[in-house]
Amino acid sequence: VEADDTDEVRDLVEPLHPADIADLIELTPGDQRRALIAAIGDQIDGEVISELNDWVREELIDSLSPHQVASFAAELDTDDAVAIIEDMEEADQRAVLRALDPDDRAAIEEALSYPEESAGRLMQRELIAVPEHWTVGDVLDYLRGSEELQTDFWEIFVVDPGHRPVGTCHLSWILRTPRVVSIGDVMKREQTLIPVDLDQEEVALRFQKYALISAAVVDSSGRLVGMITVDDVVHIISEEAGEDILRLSGAGEGDINEPLPSTIRTRMTWLLINLGTAILAATVIAFFSGTIAKLVALSALMTIVSGMGGNAATQTMAVTVRALATNQLTTSNTWRMILREWWISIANGIALGFLMALGCQLYYHDTALSLILFAAMIINSINAGLSGVLIPIGLDRLRIDPAITSTVFVTTMTDCMGFFALLGLATLFNVH
For a copy of itself, the closer of residues 72 and 207 by Cβ is 207
Long-range contacts for 395-401 (Cβ within 8 Å, ≥24 apart)? Answer: 396/324, 401/247
Q: From the list 94, 98, 189, 235, which residue makes contact with a copy of itself (rule: CB under 8 A)?
A: 235
Report which DSSP code applies to 427.
Answer: H
* 249 sits near a copy of itself (criterion: CB under 8 A): yes
Write down the least CB distance from residue 350 to a copy of itself, Å: 11
Using CB under 8 A as the binding rule, the residues of this chain from 264 to 323 that contact a copy of itself are: 264, 267-268, 270-272, 274-275, 278-279, 281-283, 285-286, 289, 292-293, 296-297, 299-304, 306-308, 311-312, 314-319, 321-323
For a copy of itself, the closer of residues 1 and 428 by Cβ is 1
Among 404, 395, 390, 118, smallest CA distance to 244 is for 404
Write down the least CB distance from residue 133 to a copy of itself, Å: 19
Write down the least CB distance from residue 2 to a copy of itself, Å: 11
d(CA 60, CA 30): 11
Write down the least CB distance from residue 93 to a copy of itself, Å: 26
Helix (H) and strand (E) counts in the chain: 21, 6
* 325 sits near a copy of itself (criterion: CB under 8 A): yes
* 149 sits near a copy of itself (criterion: CB under 8 A): yes
Write down the least CB distance from residue 66 to a copy of itself, Å: 27
How many C-alpha atoms does 308 have within 13 Å on its Cβ side?
26
For a copy of itself, the closer of residues 260 and 398 by Cβ is 260
Using CB under 8 A as the binding rule, the residues of this chain from 194 to 233 that contact a copy of itself are: 207-213, 230-231, 233
For a copy of itself, the closer of residues 184 and 307 by Cβ is 307
Q: Which H/E stretch holds residue 218?
A: strand 214-218
What are the residues whose beta carbons fall under 8 Å from the beta carbon of 409, sequence distance 6 or more?
387, 391, 395
x/- letters, 7..36, toward a copy of itself (CB under 8 A): ----------x-x---x--xx-x-------
Write down the least CB distance from residue 300 to a copy of itself, Å: 4
Report which DSSP code applies to 42.
Answer: G
What are the residues whose beta carbons fall under 8 Å from the beta carbon of 163, sequence distance 6 or more?
129, 223, 224
Q: From the list 105, 254, 375, 386, which residue makes contact with a copy of itself (rule: CB under 8 A)?
A: 254
How many C-alpha atoms does 311 have within 13 Å on its Cβ side?
9
What are the residues whose beta carbons fall under 8 Å from the beta carbon of 234, sequence distance 6 or more?
none
Q: From the list 74, 241, 375, 386, which residue makes contact with a copy of itself (rule: CB under 8 A)?
A: 241
Among 276, 309, 277, smallest CA distance to 421 is for 309
Please give the single-letter amino acid code of residue 410.
V
Using CB under 8 A as the binding rule, the residues of this chain from 390 to 429 that contact a copy of itself are: 415, 419
Please give the single-letter amino acid code of residue 159.
V
Q: Which stretch binds a copy of itself (CB under 8 A): 94-102, 108-116, 150-158, 365-373?
A: 150-158
* 178 sits near a copy of itself (criterion: CB under 8 A): yes
Phi-psi region of 373 (alpha: psi -120 to 50; beta: other; left: phi over 0): alpha
Write down the least CB distance from residue 283 to a copy of itself, Å: 8
Helix, strand, coil tally for the chain in percent (to 5): 70, 10, 25
Using CB under 8 A as the binding rule, the residues of this chain from 36 to 95 that contact a copy of itself are: none
Write down the least CB distance from residue 279 to a copy of itself, Å: 7
How many C-alpha atoms does 298 have within 13 Å on its Cβ side?
28
